[in-house]
Amino acid sequence: MIGPVSPGTDNHALTLTKGSRHIRLALVLVLCVVMVWLSGYWIDQAEIYSIACSVSGAVPTIPSLAALLLLLCLRPLFRRLRGVRELSTGEIVVVYVFLTLSTMMFGIGGMRHLMAAISEHRYLSTAAEPVETLAQFIPAWLSPQSATVHRWMWESSPSGAVPWHVWWIPIVAWTGFFLLLGGTILCLLLLLAERWLDHERLSFPLARLPLEILGEGTLGALFANSLTWVGIGVATLLNAFHMVRGVFFGGPNYGGPVFYIHQLGLSYPWLVLGHEPPILFAVQPGLIGLGYLVSNEVAISVILFTIFSKALGLGLVSAGIRDGWVPYAKQQAFGGYLMLAAIMLWMGRGAMVEGWHKLVGGQEEAHGRGQAGRPNLGWALLGAMVGFAGVVIFLVAAGMALWLAITYMAVIVLSSVTYARVRAETGMPLLWARPYTTEYLAIWEVLGGRIIVPAGRDLTSPTIFAMTSFLSRTGFPSVSGYQIEGIKLCRQTGVNWRQIATLMMMAVGLGIACGFIFHLVPFYQEGAIALPGGHWNLGAMRQAYARVLQNAQSPEPPDINRIAAIAFGALVTILVSVARTRWTGVPLHPVGYVMANCQYGCWLFPTFVMVWTCKTLLLRYGGSRLYLRMMPAFLGLALGHFLSGGLVWGSLSAALGGPFLRWSVWVN
């Protein structure tokens, strides 16, 4: 492939000269850019002009999976072309990793929140909540200052053209911000990667999927296995049933039937079973198929901690706490996430110390220099420090208080690191398996409004803080999951770490820049408010701005109950972690605790009940041999769901519209 190759991997790259490798790298990069651009049109149709299918919110993203399958199908063609060497496994993996990072930025879970942060305060201001008054505190290089420009975005411009002259500076500024933040996270993961890969030997279940598809995994030729096609067939039939029911017999239906236990008409204290995350029952083929790769230890932990959380809620409600958010599960997950990040950074301190010595003393790395699989720890540490300083300086330049910028960015980065660990250890195919929204809200809950909103009329700092609240609502902190899997994949296929790190950064930058283009064009042509996907989650950012105005008049005090929940989550996490190190056979896992209490952990409970039951029966009556033999069936179930629900239905419904929009798919 590109650059030095590890032993036992894609070795025909070794025959290339240095110049040839650079040409191949350039060709792969062109292929990546073309596919990202084509994916942008697809996501426009599926997620903006309609909400037909969340192709960018799936894990992995549907465009990246489609590109992987397309390049796999084209491999025989490349062999027949005279003078053209076929794409190596490493080159296909690079394209796949590039697209996963770029396309996750485009959709409902990414760019849409940023566009709302930039513009909702201009368009949704009311007499009761005059959030437009906060526009004076937002610099022009973050958001255009003309109210007309924002109104045109929401209602369409007279000519349908985008006023690019007022947008190019914010586009450049926000692209730079995400490059700094993404680079900070990537450099931290490079520092932790060696421990996770070599010492702890984490399984990286999701990294197996593209290798199995390419025939480079442990299962051999995946599509030659009949059980794979059984799984694909089951998922396709299930989705076909929902498609027919939605098109001919039903109204809007997101993904399939979902039954919430609180719909039984429960009263207190049992109504707590419906508090976030609620107990529900649903069949999600994507989660079930890839959930098969998750260890039974994590699966049973999610099940038991979900039951524990609801039992805790019943106890609190019975004690007289009637808050509708009891037992404050998101806050528990937030505390657990921060504690896990602290534990991981402490355990990975050796790499940071080595990186520091490399920086200040110029020492050569212990394992040699220039290895494909081992990054330069000095450069990684320097990149993390410079990147974090860069995002803080960015926010301070925008007007946020220094202490608040450091606090908020530290929380976002730590949350991202923990999410990367969750993906590396469990392979959980869910972008939202993290304390979604709480990374921002917890700062309000812990500090209170009097500290965040200063006395007087200068509301610049809390306004910029409110603007950046989209970071906790978007899937961007989850970019770390794709980054760590990309590091694993490229190391396994022999791609040089410098090249993959550079390509990952380019993917983030291209994803943000293209995301602006593919949103602004339809918004100014049709009007965001008129597009089904344009006004998705409308008003969420207005609430963040309104909170600043409310606290300027009447500061909210710190929330003692939620602070206690955060501390409790951190305590449970550290107790479970210590128990696992002191006693063998402890069946609980701290990752299972935080996953169970995340806002969207509700989807994991029914999934793991089914998956854990299946795996337990297979292991008991057939052993590991039967477990491995059945793996293609479950991978086929996930692939069948992605192909029928994502690729086929996402394309059909986006192209045909009308009754084909009655069944919307959130692919995972």
Burial of 569 (0-12, 13-18, 19+ CB in 10 A): buried
User: Does some domain include residue 2?
Assistant: no
Find the radius of gyration of the CA atoms of the chain.
24
List pLDDT tens digits, range 380-391: 999 999 999 999
Which residue in 349, 416, 410 sits closest to 191, CA to CA? 349
Side-chain half-sphere exposure of 181, counting CA atoms within 13 A: 31
Spatial separation of the C-alpha atoms in residues 590 and 595, rounded to whole Å? 9
The percentage of the chain sitting over the pLDDT mark of 70, rounded to a whole number, equals: 90
Q: How far apart are CA 239 and CA 293, in angstroms?
A: 22
pLDDT at position 662:
55
**Phi, psi at residue 259, to the nearest 5°?**
-115, 120
Above 80 in pLDDT, residue 537? no
Exposure string of 101-119, with b = 16+ CB inside 10 Å and e = fewer, is bbbbbbbbbbbbbbbbbbb
Q: Which of 500, 476, 592 is nearest to 185 (CA)?
A: 476
Percentage, residues of the chain above pLDDT 90: 52
pLDDT digits (tens, 9 = 90+) for 499-515: 889 999 999 999 999 99
Q: Quick one: pLDDT at residue 12?
A: 40
Look at residue 150 and tell me if it is in a domain: yes
pLDDT value, residue 196: 93
Average pLDDT of the chain to the nearest whole number: 86
Token pair 């993404």 is found at 182
User: Contact, 631 vs 22, CB < 8 A?
Assistant: no
Q: Is the pLDDT of residue 373 over 60?
A: no
Reduced to 3 states (helix: H, G, I; strand: E, B; else coil), residue 53 is strand
Would 233 be classed as within a structural domain? yes
Q: Is residue 607 part of a domain?
A: yes
Section 554-562 average pLDDT: 94
**Mean pLDDT within 190-204:** 90
Whether 321 is covered by a domain: the verdict is yes
**Does the pLDDT at position 8 exceed 60?**
no
Residues 240-286 have pLDDT tens digits of 887 777 677 665 555 566 788 877 777 778 888 888 888 888 888 88
Q: Is 253 in a helix, a strand, or coil? A: strand
CB 646 within 8 A of CB 53: yes
Measured torsion, CA atoms of residues 83, 88, 90, 92, in degrees rounded to the nearest 10: 90
Which of 33-37, 50-54, 621-625, 642-646 is predicted least confidently?
50-54
pLDDT the model gives residue 631: 92
Q: Which H/E stretch holds residue 32? A: helix 18-43
Contact 232, 639 (CB under 8 A): yes
Choose from 44-53, 87-96, 563-572 the range with maximum mean pLDDT.
563-572
**Helices 497-526/147-155 angle, 10° precision:** 80
613: three-class secondary structure by DSSP: helix
Q: Is pLDDT above 90 for 420? A: yes
Report which of residues 290 and 10 the model is more confident about: 290
Domain that holds residue 323: 11-664
* Residue 206 and residue 429 in contact, taking contact as beta carbons nearer than 8 Å: yes
> Which run of H or E residues covers position 591?
helix 590-597
Residue 84's pLDDT is 61
Query: Is 6 within a domain?
Result: no
Strand ranges, E, within 172-295: 253-254, 258-260, 280-282
pLDDT higher than threshold 60 for residue 557: yes
Structure letter (DSSP) for residue 665: B
290 neighbors 645 (Cβ within 8 angstroms): no
pLDDT for the residue numbered 3: 44
pLDDT digits (tens, 9 = 90+) for 334-365: 999 999 999 999 999 999 999 898 888 765 54
At 634, the amino acid letter reads F
8-state DSSP, 232: H
Taking alpha carbons only, the member of 51, 67, 8 closest to residue 246 is: 51
Task: Say how many domains are in the chain.
Answer: 1
The reply to whether 5 falls in a domain is no
For helices 479-492 and 497-526, what crossing angle results, to 10°?
Answer: 140
Which of the four pLDDT bands, split at 50, 70 and 90, describes residue 668?
Answer: low
Q: According to DSSP H, which parts of 348-468 are helical?
A: 349-361, 377-398, 402-426, 438-447, 449-452, 460-467
pLDDT digits (tens, 9 = 90+) for 432-441: 888 888 999 9
Can you read off the two tokens belonging to residue 47? Answer: 């997620």
Report yes or no on 1 lying in a domain: no
- d(CA 558, CA 615) in angstroms, rounded, equals 45
**Strand 258-260 with 280-282, pairing:** antiparallel
